[in-house]
Every structure is written in structure tokens, then in C-alpha cells.
Chains A and B, each alone.
Chain A
Amino acid sequence: MNFKRDIPVRTYSGFALSALLVLTILTILLQSSVEKIERAGDKLLGINAQEGVANAVTSVVVYFRGFDTLGEIAVLFIAALGIGLMVSSHKSAQRHKEESNFILQTASKLLFPFITLFGVYVMIYGHLSPGGGFQGGVIIASGVLLLLISYQNFEVPHALITALETLAGISYVLIGLLGLWILDHFLGNFLPSDISDMGMLISGGIIPLIYIIVGVKVGSEMSMIVQNLIQRSDDE
């Protein structure tokens, strides 16, 4: 009787290797003491008041590190592009074979406006309360996802979404270039941003404007990504 004992060599060696690596990292991390030094963020908090924005994280994301946010938008844009490219062969396929539940359909029809409203609120008030463009955009996209799941024939209007996305992307870079031409800093804050306006809806100069642009772009891109990933042909 010969049977081969199946020793999962791969599993054991993988376990050993990862344990070794993680333990090394862990020992070094535990030995290093984290001193309470003054970091760049603390210095930014000091000068943040000049911008007149109540949410310090927003002013960091949009203004002090606005260029990183521009890059992040570019990554999301390219990802949506890539996913659209990959899935483009199954455009006209039906999503599910059966209609979904009557309760789901009614409820989603009722909920969608509120979800969208909430998303827009989070977007617009991003500089006053926790939230912002990314968060609001994703909330709107989740509303769209709900509709996509409930209704077989629902499709996000392609032309509208592309127009919104293009407009938002161009505006972001143009605002940056305007900052370059007016203030000699790319993405400089050239709209009025008095400290006296702190807490008002219109405050902080370009910051709420950019966050709304970001929200529109993220919302439209996430909706497209979600639709592309759901839309597949079922007759494989």
C-alpha cells in the first residue's frame, strides 16, 4: 500500500517566512521609542487659522497637500478607465436573470434621494464638519449601487457621467493653474479666505470649491466602476 503523504511544504514555508519577517519587524518596532516631537502637522495646525477652515484635515488634504489629492484623483481616474477598458466587451448584457424583490425595489426608490442628499451634504460641508469630497462621492456611489442591484434595466447615463467627470477634472487642474498665474504658487489659495468667515459655508477660499469638484469626480467614477464590475453576461 503506498500512499503519498501530502506535506503542505508551501504552507509551512510560507508560515515560517512570514513569521520570521514579522517578528523581526515587531522587535524593531517595539524597541524604538516614539518621542513626542513637533511634527509637520503640528506646525500646519499653527498656520491653519489663516485659511479660515474649521476642519484642519480638510485644509491639509485639499490645500497644504492638494497636489497629492490631485494625484489621487488621477489614480482613480486611470483605474476607472482601465476597468472600463477591460469590461468593454460585455456592454449589452443583462445583469440578472430574475427581477429582484418587490420590497427591495420600492425601498431603494424611496431611499435613493435621501442617500444622494446625504452624500451631497457631506461633500459641501466637508470643510466645516468631518467629511469631504471622497466620503460624499462614495456615499452617492453607494446609492447608485443600490439602484443597480434593484433594477435590471437601470443604467447610469453614460454621457452625463462622462461630462461631469471631465468637467470636474479640468476644473481642478485649471484652479491649480490659476493659482500659479495669480499667486505664483500652483494650487495657491487665490479666493478670499478670511479668518472671520470661519464656520460659514462660504469660507476658506478655494478649499470647499475643490472638495466639491473632488466629490463630483469621485462620485461619478465610483458609479462607473461599480456599474462596470456588475455588468457581466450570465451565459458563460
Chain B
Amino acid sequence: MMSSLLDWFIQPDVITAIVAFGSMGLFFVGLFGLLTQRHLIKIFISISLMEAAVFLYFLGTIFHRELTAPILGDGHTAFTGMNDPIPHAMILTAIVIGMALFALGVSFAIEYYKLTGRTDINKMKEMGE
């Protein structure tokens, strides 16, 4: 009975649905944090969570169980029956860019805190009328 349950889980449609639920759940957590948190660093973390959710969704949806990793070795001698390498390249780039922006944001926040002693985004009202 367990094995038939596992067999049901392994169907591609079910896996896609699970991936969608999971990644969108993470996206929801990130979005909620973005909208409600006031501390600068927490806002940056929330945005990183949203990015991670998008990557998870992308990878999970485009992956096929029966195909193997796009690299030669372990007996493979030709590039057939492999998963798509482009999503990997795209996500690699996007992760690095996201991390660079996060680091920059943290340094801005640190400098702002040193100058004004504040990290609350609602209190950032130096300007405006």
C-alpha cells in the first residue's frame, strides 16, 4: 500500500504540483516579510527568500526524473538523454547577481546606521513633503 502511495507521488503532474505549492509558499513568506517588516536587514532577507522561491520553482518544474545531469562521466559518452543545461546557467547568474545586490544593500544599511543610528524603514523620512 505504501508503494502505491509512493507511485502516485512520483507522477510528474503531482511532483510539479508539489513544487509549485512549496515554492509559492516560500514566495508567500518572503512577500509577507517584505510588506510587514520594518528593519532594513529583514526586508533584504525577505527579498532573498522570494528570489530563492523563484529559483526553486524554475528548477523543480523543468527537471525530468528520467534524464540525467548534463555532464559526461559515469559511463556516458554522448550528450543524449540529459537534462537541460540552460536553467542551471541562468540560475547561477541570477544567484550571483542577487547576492551582489544583497551585499551592497547590507553595506548601505550599515553605513546608514553608523550615520543616523536608525534601521527602521518607516523612520527614514529625511526627505519629502
Q: State if A and B touch, Cβ cutoff 8 Å.
A: yes
Selected contact of A22 from candidates B24, B88, B89, CB within 8 Å:
B24
Instruction: For B111, give the chain A residue with the smallest CB separation.
Output: A86
Are B86 and A41 in contact (CB-based, < 8 A)?
A: yes
Which of A43-51, A103-111, A155-163 is near enough to bind chain B? A43-51
Which of A76-84, A112-120, A146-154, A169-177 is near enough to bind chain B? A76-84
B59 CB within 8 Å of chain A? no
Contacts of A55 in B (CB 8 A): 70-72
Contacts of A5 in B (CB 8 A): none
Give the residues from 27 to 76 in chain A that come closer than 8 angstroms, CB to CB, to chain B: 29-30, 34, 36, 39-42, 44-46, 48-49, 54-57, 59-61, 65, 68-69, 71-72, 75-76
Query: Least Cβ distance of A90 to chain B in Å?
Result: 8
Are B85 and A45 in contact (CB-based, < 8 A)?
A: yes
Are B28 and A22 in contact (CB-based, < 8 A)?
A: yes
Give the residues from 37 to 68 in chain B that come closer than 8 angstroms, CB to CB, to chain A: 57, 61-62, 64
Are A228 and B71 in contact (CB-based, < 8 A)?
A: no
Query: Least Cβ distance of A139 to chain B in Å?
Result: 14
Interface centre among B17, B86, B92, B106 (most CB of A within 10 A): B86
Are A130 and B89 in contact (CB-based, < 8 A)?
A: no
Are A45 and B107 in contact (CB-based, < 8 A)?
A: no
Instruction: For B71, give the chain A residue with the smallest CB separation.
Output: A55
* Given the contacts A29-B20, A60-B89, A54 and B96 also touching, CB distance less than 8 Å: no
* Given the contacts A41-B87, A60-B89, A54 and B104 also touching, CB distance less than 8 Å: no
Contacts of B103 in A (CB 8 A): 79, 83, 225, 229
A134 CB within 8 Å of chain B? yes
Are B84 and A41 in contact (CB-based, < 8 A)?
A: yes
* Given the contacts A54-B73, A75-B97, A30 and B17 also touching, CB distance less than 8 Å: yes
Instruction: Give Cα distance in the complex from A46 to B31, angstroms.
Output: 40
Instruction: Give Cα distance in the complex from A34 to B27, angstroms.
Output: 20
Instruction: Give Cα distance in the complex from A46 to B82, angstroms.
Output: 10
Contacts of B5 in A (CB 8 A): none
Are B92 and A61 in contact (CB-based, < 8 A)?
A: yes
**Interface size classification for chain A:** 35 or more
Instruction: Give Cα distance in the complex from A69 to B62, angstroms.
Output: 22
**Interface size classification for chain B:** 35 or more
Instruction: Give Cα distance in the complex from A52 to B93, angstroms.
Output: 23
* Given the contacts A11-B36, A44-B85, A236-B114, A72 and B93 also touching, CB distance less than 8 Å: yes
Give the residues from 6 to 41 in chain A that come closer than 8 angstroms, CB to CB, to chain B: 10-11, 14-15, 17-19, 21-22, 25-26, 29-30, 34, 36, 39-41
Interface centre among A26, A56, A129 (most CB of B within 10 A): A56
Instruction: Give Cα distance in the complex from A65 to B79, angstroms.
Output: 18
Query: Least Cβ distance of A174 to chain B in Å?
Result: 22
Please give 4 more A-B residue pairs, beta carbons under 8 A apart, in addition to A14-B35, A30-B17, A236-B114: A18-B32, A45-B85, A56-B79, A87-B107
Q: Please, could you name 18 A-B residue pairs with CB atoms under 8 Å apart, sorted by A?
A: A10-B35, A22-B27, A22-B28, A29-B57, A30-B17, A30-B20, A45-B84, A48-B79, A49-B79, A54-B71, A56-B85, A57-B71, A68-B89, A71-B93, A76-B100, A78-B100, A82-B107, A86-B110
User: What is A's interface to B at a CB cutoff of 8 Å?
Assistant: 10-11, 14-15, 17-19, 21-22, 25-26, 29-30, 34, 36, 39-42, 44-46, 48-49, 54-57, 59-61, 65, 68-69, 71-72, 75-76, 78-79, 82-83, 86-87, 129-130, 134, 198-199, 225, 228-229, 232, 236
